[in-house]
Amino acid sequence: PNAFAIQMEGSSMEPLFPAGTFIIIDPSKEARDRNFVAVHMKNEKSVIFKQIFSDGRTHYLKSLNENFHQFEPIVLGANDRI
């Protein structure tokens, strides 16, 4: 009942999720290692869609597109919401 859709605006998640793709998000699902997640970053006004990786207590967000691999993974902060 709380599901919502977001649209991919860029190419960071290509080729699996091309720009323009609509993604349905179910916030009742628990995020697990290597899932694709929508995250509201504390310092951002929008929701981002990335793949999540976890090494126990720390969670990282990463793009799929190999052109973005030169960027460091995003480390989730305590106030960021999956």
Q: How far apart are CA 62 and CA 34, in angstroms?
A: 10
pTM of the predicted protein model: 0.87
What's the whole-number mean pLDDT along residues 1-12?
93
DSSP state of 77: P
pLDDT at 13 over 90: yes
Q: Are 17 and 49 in contact (CB under 8 A)?
A: yes
pLDDT at 69 over 90: no
State the amino acid at position 71 in one-letter form: F
**Which pLDDT value is given to residue 30?**
92
The pLDDT tens digits of the residues spanning 17-59 come to 999 999 999 999 999 999 999 999 888 877 899 999 998 889 9
**Which pLDDT value is given to residue 25?**
94
